[in-house]
Structure 1
């Protein structure tokens, strides 16, 4: 075992290649300007795992990100993240915390959105709760298309986005994250908030 591996653990590339092999996904090598990524297909959706770096002056912060564009049928938006020291600030700034009726889950997470009934239908799903709880840190939301993959999606296409500080190099955690995306996308279809269509076909 190399000294670098002993100090820092396995390299991202090694872990992500293993992930791609285990979930039957594509590992895409990075280049000079772009980092490597993993792309997996779930029904008609494409789920992409990558990293990006934000410069804050003298320091650079790297994030792990997972995204999946989908046809948003009714404009339903949500955000969920773990409660922490800044959760109360969010409430003071006017963001409503919706409770779904599961006390332990409600105690651990802040859930916000534009349709309380659909928030409950989405997050009362026990498998989704378990997969969210398996993530030690989570910031998951529905956002506008940002033109990624060099494609500007139609107006009714949004993306499910997960971000967390740091590079995730735990294969099991990444597999659970892919499973979470698959469950969420399918549940969004069940509650009438997504179409099971490929967003690229909508162009």
Structure 2
């Protein structure tokens, strides 16, 4: 029988990350140390009654020095309906990007500053699916984090096993963390 390669183990090797074997209902994961932060990749089963769906998620615990929050996601049918009914949307002044994504934030100046970074915009545009946000929930869908603790969070439908997509998400995380740090929003 052929040995099956563990995807998260291989991803850890390619990104100098630390592979952690899952247990019980937790999936295997890969944690990448980047400057003062940890960027964690894993899979998560999202339950809704009797039904479940697999998600790939990426989180980086962060400590804010201000209250800056944002959410960026690709336009979809449901999101278009939200816009029709008045969901708040920040336009950043790049028409193609503004058309493709819904951007919500409590600080228009800071989100425009963050998305002025062409490399961040290009990497987000290259992704088929984008759901990135500052979350006060552990792992996006788990328990609420203690007061003042947040995560930069990203999730995609299904178990993504494409190294190039995940490396691109890793690059987005590094760029966003660097820019948030330079804006003095995080320590």
TM-score (norm: length of structure 1): 0.83
Note if contact 1:15-1:170 (Cα within 8 Å) is conserved in structure 2.
no
Instruction: Report if aligned partners of 2:120, 2:175 keep a CA contact under 8 Å in 1.
Output: yes
Cα distance between partner residues in 1 of 2:86 and 2:185: 25
Measured after TM superposition, the shift of residue 156 of structure 1 is 2.4
Tell me, what secondary structure is at the counterpart of 1:194? Answer: coil
Runs of 4+ off more than 6 Å: none
> Pick from 4, 14, 24: which aligns with 2:6?
14
Question: How many residue pairs were aligned?
Answer: 184
Alignment of 1:122-201 (within 5 A): 122-146=114-138, 155-195=147-187
- Whether 2:75 is the aligned partner of 1:83: answer yes
Deviation for aligned residue 1:48:
0.5
2:41 and 2:59 in contact (8 A); partners too: yes
In structure 2, C-alpha distance between the alignment counterparts of 1:188 and 1:29, rounded to whole Å:
31
Gaps of 5+ in 1: 3-10, 196-203
Q: What's the secondary structure of 2:129's corresponding residue?
A: coil
Q: Distance in 1 between matches of 2:104 and 2:46?
A: 25
Q: Which moved more, 1:29-38 or 1:104-113?
A: 29-38
SS of the residue aligned with 2:120? helix
Q: Which has the higher contact order (CA 8 A, sep 6+)?
A: 1
What stretches of structure 2 of length at least 5 have no aligned partner? none
Larger Rg: 1
Which string of whole-angstrom CA distances, capped at 9 and with x for unpartnered residues, describes residues 30-87 of structure 1?
A: 1233210000011010011111112233421111111001111111000000011112
Q: TM-score, normalised by structure 2?
A: 0.89
Aligned-residue CA RMSD (Å):
2.3
Distance of aligned partners of 1:46 and 1:81 in 2 relative to their CA distance in 1, 3 Å threshold: same
> Deviation at 1:172?
0.6
The 1:112/1:174 distance shift into structure 2, 3 A limit, reads: same
